[in-house]
């Protein structure tokens, strides 16, 4: 079945460090891929998405590229800030163009000043 | 504009009681989803409504769980005879649909359910 695997947390970085959170998926067909973020005390928000192979999603300095050959969608940011501290979820859209999201287990990021 | 709203924000109940959780999706969004977020299981899909089609109930964990969506808008998730393992944050999301393709899902703040 379809599934998402992302790196275990927590991840602790110093401000201005480089961030990578790994995400790989298993899916039939060609799913859309997403990164959602949950800031402390807040709801889930879409961070970025990619709908086909080689697409790059980007937002707020974060980027992720849809790699069909490695079934990956790793999240990167060149210089993290304290305000990036949150839980990050990788997800795929089950069912092609319509359906429910399948989430990874989440990676908690803490950025220290 | 207004986002997805959920009520109540917190609910404490006793084991064996029934609870109803409400979701108001973004106006005009045809798709509505319920998910559950718990420490042990992460984020799990529960049920999906798309327009007037029969809902996809494949994620419901047991027959104690049910949901309805009235008039294509507001949805209620009902848990009967609650158990302690039902304690979790219940999230609702909605999305517009364009030309048969689903757009981004927008999440509500969730209802935190605690079963004592």
Q: Evaluate if residue B1 carries a pLDDT over 80.
A: no
Is B101's pLDDT higher than 70? no
**Does the distance separating the beta carbons of B45 and A102 come in below 8 Å?**
yes
DSSP B25: P
Nearest 10 degrees: Cα torsion A9, A56, B29, A39: 30
pLDDT one-digit tens code per residue, B28-71: 898 999 999 998 778 999 999 988 788 889 999 999 999 999 88
Q: Would the CB atoms of A97 and B35 count as touching at under 8 Å? A: no
Chain A interface disruption, residue of B105, B110, B111, B112, most A CBs within 10 A: B105
pLDDT of residue B102 exceeding 80? no
Q: Looking at the complex, report in whole angstroms how far the Cα of residue B1 sits from the nearest Cα belonging to chain A.
A: 16
Name the residue among B48, B108, B110 with its Cβ closest to that of A99.
B48
Sorted by sequence, the CB contacts under 8 Å of residue A53 that are 6+ apart come out as A30, A66, A67, A68
A94/A46 Cα distance (integer angstroms): 16
C-beta atoms surrounding A89 within 10 Å: 25
> Over chain A (113 residues), what is each successive 10-residue block's mean pLDDT?
90 97 91 93 92 93 96 97 96 75 94 96
- B114 in contact with A at a CB cutoff of 8 Å? no
Which DSSP symbol is given to B56?
A: B
> Can you give the pLDDT at residue B77?
97
Which of B50, B104, B109 minimises the CB distance to A98? B50
| Structure tokens belonging to residue A100 | 């429910």
Check B56 against A99: CB less than 8 A apart: yes
Asked whether the predicted pLDDT for residue B100 surpasses 60, the reply is no
Distance CA B37, CA A17 (A): 30
Rounded Cα distance between A79 and A4, Å, is: 26
């Amino acid at each position: 079945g379809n599934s998402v695997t992302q790196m275990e947390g927590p991840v602790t970085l110093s401000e201005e460090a480089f961030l990578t959170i790994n995400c790989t998926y298993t899916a039939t067909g060609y799913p859309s891929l997403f990164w959602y973020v949950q800031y402390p005390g807040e709801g889930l928000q879409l961070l970025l998405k990619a709908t086909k192979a080689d697409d790059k999603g980007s937002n707020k300095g974060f980027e992720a590229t849809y790699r069909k050959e490695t079934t990956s969608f790793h999240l990167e940011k060149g210089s993290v800030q304290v305000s990036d501290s949150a839980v990050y979820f990788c997800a795929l859209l089950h069912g092609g163009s319509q359906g429910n999201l399948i989430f990874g287990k989440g990676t908690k990021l803490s950025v220290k000043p | 504009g207004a986002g997805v709203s959920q009520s109540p924000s917190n609910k404490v109940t006793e084991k064996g009681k029934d609870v109803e959780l409400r979701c108001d999706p973004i106006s005009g969004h045809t798709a509505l989803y319920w998910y559950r977020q718990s420490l042990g299981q992460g984020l799990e899909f529960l049920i999906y409504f798309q327009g007037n089609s029969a809902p996809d109930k494949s994620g419901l964990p047991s027959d104690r769980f049910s949901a309805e969506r009235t008039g294509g808008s507001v949805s209620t998730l009902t848990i009967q005879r609650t158990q302690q393992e039902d304690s979790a944050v219940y999230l609702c999301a909605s999305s517009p649909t364009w030309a048969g393709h689903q757009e981004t899902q927008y999440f509500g703040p969730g209802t935190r359910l605690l079963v004592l």
